[in-house]
Copies of this chain bind each other. A is one copy, B any other.
Amino acid sequence: MSTSSPARQQSEPKYWHLKTVLAQALDTEFSVGQTLPNERELAARFGVARATLRQALDQLELEGRLQRRRGVGTTVAPPRVGVDVSPGRHAGPAAEGGAWEAVDCAGSVPAAAVARDLGLPAGRPVRTVHRVLLAEGQPVATEQLYLSPGLVPAPGAAQERGPGPERARAVLDRLRTVPWDGQDRAVELGSAGAEDARLLDRLPGSPVLIVTTRYTAAGRTAAVAVATYRADTCRLTFGDREALTLTAG
């Protein structure tokens, strides 16, 4: 890192250098949860425009090192929480650990790609279970579980009238009786929609990890789960590494 090294690349952006300096400061001069000086003061201290400082903060937030809340301030984020997303051989969508909390069950129109996976025409509503994953008391993921028609019997009048969470749990119970063949998963980067952002206590457009799981039963895709994880606070784990199973790490 000596400045005397010859023929360095031309013009390192200010925000990049700023990010490096800030990252080092976070390691040495701040502790988790501590509040940083406000953006206007930081910008002045470093002699840059606020927009430039924000570019550096944006990246640090993306890497999960900072947490910003409007009206409150910027704090040093704790290490990302590990969330186990292992396939688990013949487990169905309702067989996850106990941290998922059923929210509601209703009909909704899946995205075109999901409808295709289910072998249905686009635009048609299907029974959908909505769940939220809590880690350390905070919601870190939301999931929409789209069910193939006829997978579970139509709900009785009793459950249909009940409150949302109760209806959802009733459907999940029935899903446990389905003989599942297997599943496959995909992870990609996305940005939170308005609804997901609200549930995750983030701003719309925040980066999220989207996990799409296809569950197969009787030789075809019978359910598709689209889970949206906060990218700033979550690390998805596959395998037996230290992940939150019941209590937090």
Binding site for B on A (CB under 8 A): 9, 13, 16, 19, 59, 62-64, 80, 82, 87, 182-191, 194, 204-205, 207, 209, 214, 231-232, 234-241
User: Are A80 and B191 interface neighbours, CB within 8 A?
Assistant: no
User: Are B238 and A82 interface neighbours, CB within 8 A?
Assistant: no
What is the CA–CA distance of A47 and B59 in the complex, to the nearest angstrom? Answer: 28
Question: Which residue on B lies nearest to A113, using beta carbons?
Answer: B79
Residues of chain B contacted by A238 (CB below 8 angstroms)? 87, 184-187, 238
User: Are A214 and B241 interface neighbours, CB within 8 A?
Assistant: yes
User: Are B87 and A188 interface neighbours, CB within 8 A?
Assistant: no
Given the known interface contacts A16-B204, A59-B205, A204-B16, the answer about A239 and B185 at a Cβ–Cβ threshold of 8 Å is yes
A93 → B minimal CB distance (Å):
14
User: Are B87 and A186 interface neighbours, CB within 8 A?
Assistant: no
Given the known interface contacts A63-B191, A191-B62, A191-B63, the answer about A82 and B186 at a Cβ–Cβ threshold of 8 Å is yes
User: Are A64 and B16 interface neighbours, CB within 8 A?
Assistant: no
Residues of chain B contacted by A204 (CB below 8 angstroms)? 13, 16
What is the CA–CA distance of A238 and B237 in the complex, to the nearest angstrom? Answer: 12
What is the CA–CA distance of A241 and B191 in the complex, to the nearest angstrom? Answer: 23
